[in-house]
C-alpha cells in the first residue's frame, strides 16, 4: 500500500431522480426550483405525496432480467451504466475484477416481502405460492449484485446499510477501497426503491412524520414553520470514482475531488437526531480536508422536513458555519424539491450540487415561505438560485439509529 493517500476524483455520474433522469436534467430542474413530488395511490395508504422516477428500466437490461430483478436493481443498473458511459471508460479495456460496486441503502427487501405477503393473503395463507425469487430479490446485496450481473463486473459488489446516511457512505467506502488499491475503479453511491412499499409511509405516518398537503409539492417543506414531515422518494445516483493518477492518464473529465469525509454515531436514540454529534461529524470532516468552516462554499443540509431533524441540524450547522459574521458559506437542501430519497438521498443531493463548480450557482430549495425561527441560518438559499463561485461543497447525510456522515468535494485543482 502506498504511504501517501491517493487523491480520489469523480469522473462519471449516472442518476435518476423524481425530477430528472440524468445530471443535466436534474440540475436544470433544481436550478428552476422544479419539484418532482406528486400524489399517487399506494396500497393500503391511498393517495400520498411521493417522489417517483420515470427512467427507462430496460435501457440497459433485457425485459426478462428486469422481471427477475427488483425495482432498485433496475435503478442501480440504469445509474451504473449511465455513470460508466459518462466516464468514457470502455469496460472491455479494463480489468473487471478491479472494479468495485458499493451502493448505499437505507433498507432492502421490504418491497418484495410486502408483495409476497399480499399474495399470501390472496391465497389463503398457502405458502406454496411464495415466490422462489424472494431470496435473491431480498438479500441485502441485491442492488449491487444486479449491477455486477448486468455489467459482468467480477470485483467486489455489495451494499452498505446506513439508513439515510447511506448515499454518502457508498462514496466514502469507495474512497477507502480505492486508496487501499483493492479496486482501480469504483461505481459508488446510493439507491432506493422505498416508494414501492406501503410500510415506510405507514411507519412515518405512525410517527407523525409523514409529509402531507393537498398540493403534493408543498407536502415537504424543510425548515419551514408549516412543514408537515417527510415525503418518501425513490431514486439513485452512482458515481464513477478513480484515483487521480488513473483519471489523468486517460484524460478523463473530472467533476470534482473528494477531499474529506467522516462518519460517527449518536449513540443516543433510535430516531431522534443529536446536534452535538452532527457538529462533531462536520468538524472532523473539515479537519480531514484541512479546511476551515469559512472555506466551504455550499453546505447541503440533510433537512428532511421533520421538526426535530431540521432544528438539530440547523443548530449544528449554525454553530459551525455562522460563527464568523463575514462568512460566505451558502446553505441549501434538496429534499424540498425531490423528497427524501432515503438510501439515494446523500448521493443524489451531492450530484445535484456538483455542477456548481461549472455553472457557479447554488440551487434553490423549494417552497420555503415562513422559516422556523429555530432554523434561521445565514446565507440560506430560498426559492431563487444564488450566483457565486463555488470551489467546495460539504454534503450532510444523517440516518436513524444515529448514523452521521459528511463529505467534502472540491473543484479539481492540479
Which residues are catalytically annotated? 164, 302, 340
Alpha-helical segments (H) within 60-109: 63-68, 71-87
Q: Between 130 and 159, how does the x/- string for binding to another protein read (CB under 8 A)?
A: -xxx--------------------------
Q: Which three cell numbers stand for residue 296?
A: 466551504
Residue 272 contacts by C-beta under 8 Å, 6 or more apart in sequence? 308, 312
Helix and strand numbers (H, E) in the chain are 14, 15
Residues 55 and 40: their CA atoms lie apart, in Å, by: 17
Residue closer to another protein (CB basis): 62 or 207 = 62
Residue closer to another protein (CB basis): 58 or 283 = 58
Q: Between 97 and 126, how does the x/- string for binding to another protein read (CB under 8 A)?
A: ------------------------------
Residue closer to another protein (CB basis): 1 or 125 = 125
Residue closer to another protein (CB basis): 145 or 167 = 145
Residues 191 and 343: their CA atoms lie apart, in Å, by: 5
128 part of the interface to another protein, by CB under 8 A: yes
Q: CB of residue 266 vs another protein: minimum separation in angstroms?
A: 42
Alpha-helical segments (H) within 152-230: 166-179, 199-206
| Ranges within 33-72 binding another protein (CB under 8 A) | 62-64, 67-68
Q: CB of residue 150 vs another protein: minimum separation in angstroms?
A: 14
- Residue count at the site for another protein (CB under 8 A)? 10
Residue closer to another protein (CB basis): 118 or 249 = 118
Residue closer to another protein (CB basis): 119 or 323 = 119
Three-state SS at 264: strand
Q: CB of residue 62 vs another protein: minimum separation in angstroms?
A: 5
Q: Between 252 and 291, how does the x/- string for binding to another protein read (CB under 8 A)?
A: ----------------------------------------
Residue closer to another protein (CB basis): 122 or 215 = 122
Task: Give the alpha-carbon dihedral of 29, 82, 179, 171, to 10 degrees.
Answer: 40
Q: CB of residue 132 vs another protein: minimum separation in angstroms?
A: 5
Q: CB of residue 117 vs another protein: minimum separation in angstroms?
A: 16
Residue 282 contacts by C-beta under 8 Å, 6 or more apart in sequence? 262, 316, 317, 320, 394, 396, 406
Residues 185 and 161: their CA atoms lie apart, in Å, by: 21
Three-state SS at 378: coil
Q: CB of residue 63 vs another protein: minimum separation in angstroms?
A: 4
Q: CB of residue 283 vs another protein: minimum separation in angstroms?
A: 50
Q: Which three cell numbers stand for residue 339?
A: 423528497
Residue 31 contacts by C-beta under 8 Å, 6 or more apart in sequence? 359, 361, 363, 364, 385
Residues 113 and 127: their CA atoms lie apart, in Å, by: 13
Q: CB of residue 66 vs another protein: minimum separation in angstroms?
A: 8
Exposure string of 317-347, with b = 16+ CB inside 10 Å and e = fewer, is bbbbbbeeeebebbbbbbbbbbbbbbbbbbb
Residue closer to another protein (CB basis): 68 or 98 = 68
Three-state SS at 63: helix
Closest CA to 73 of 103, 42, 116: 103
Residues 350 and 12: their CA atoms lie apart, in Å, by: 13
Q: For binding to another protein (CB under 8 A), which residues are involved? A: 62-64, 67-68, 128-129, 131-133
Amino acid at each position: 500500500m502506498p504511504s501517501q493517500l491517493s487523491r480520489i476524483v469523480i469522473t462519471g455520474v449516472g442518476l435518476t431522480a423524481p425530477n430528472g433522469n440524468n445530471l443535466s436534467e436534474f440540475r436544470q430542474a433544481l436550478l428552476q426550483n422544479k419539484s418532482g413530488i406528486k400524489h399517487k395511490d399506494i396500497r393500503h395508504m391511498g393517495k400520498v405525496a411521493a417522489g417517483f422516477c420515470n427512467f427507462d428500466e430496460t435501457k440497459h437490461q433485457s425485459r426478462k432480467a428486469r422481471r427477475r430483478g427488483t425495482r432498485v436493481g433496475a435503478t442501480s443498473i440504469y445509474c451504473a451504466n449511465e455513470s460508466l458511459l459518462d466516464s468514457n471508460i470502455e469496460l472491455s479495456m479494463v480489468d473487471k475484477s478491479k472494479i468495485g460496486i458499493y451502493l448505499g441503502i437505507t433498507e432492502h427487501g421490504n418491497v418484495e416481502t410486502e408483495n409476497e405477503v399480499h399474495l399470501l393473503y390472496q391465497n389463503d395463507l398457502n405458502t406454496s405460492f411464495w415466490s422462489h425469487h424472494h431470496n435473491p430479490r431480498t438479500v441485502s446485496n441485491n442492488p449491487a449484485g444486479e449491477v455486477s450481473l448486468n455489467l459482468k463486473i467480477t470485483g467486489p459488489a455489495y451494499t452498505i446499510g446506513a439508513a439515510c446516511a447511506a448515499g454518502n457512505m457508498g462514496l466514502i467506502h469507495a474512497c477507502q477501497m480505492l486508496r487501499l488499491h483493492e479496486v482501480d475503479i469504483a461505481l459508488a453511491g446510493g439507491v432506493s426503491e422505498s416508494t414501492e412499499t406501503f410500510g415506510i409511509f405507514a411507519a412515518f405516518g405512525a410517527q407523525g412524520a409523514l409529509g402531507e398537503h393537498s398540493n403534493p409539492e408543498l407536502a415537504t417543506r424543510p425548515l419551514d414553520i408549516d412543514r408537515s414531515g417527510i415525503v418518501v422518494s425513490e431514486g439513485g445516483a452512482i458515481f464513477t470514482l478513480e484515483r487521480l493518477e488513473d483519471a489523468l492518464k486517460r484524460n478523463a473529465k473530472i467533476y470534482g475531488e473528494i477531499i474529506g469525509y467522516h462518519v460517527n454515531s449518536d449513540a443516543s436514540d433510535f430516531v431522534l437526531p443529536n446536534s452535538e454529534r452532527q457538529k462533531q461529524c462536520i468538524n472532523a470532516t473539515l479537519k480531514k480536508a484541512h479546511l476551515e468552516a469559512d472555506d466551504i462554499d455550499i453546505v447541503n443540509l440533510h433537512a428532511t422536513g421533520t421538526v426535530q431533524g431540521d432544528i438539530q441540524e440547523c443548530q449544528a450547522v449554525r454553530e459551525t458555519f455562522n460563527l464568523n459574521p463575514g462568512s460566505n458559506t451558502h446553505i441549501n437542501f434538496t429534499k424540498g424539491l425531490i423528497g427524501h430519497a432515503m438510501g439515494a438521498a446523500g448521493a443524489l443531493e451531492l450530484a445535484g450540487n456538483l455542477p456548481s463548480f461549472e455553472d457557479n450557482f447554488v440551487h434553490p430549495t423549494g417552497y420555503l415561505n415562513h422559516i422556523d425561527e429555530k432554523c434561521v441560518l445565514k446565507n440560506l438559499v430560498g426559492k431563487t438560485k444564488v450566483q457565486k463561485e463555488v470551489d467546495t461543497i460539504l454534503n450532510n447525510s444523517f440516518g436513524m439509529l444515529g448514523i452521521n456522515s459528511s463529505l467534502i468535494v472540491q473543484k479539481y485543482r492540479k
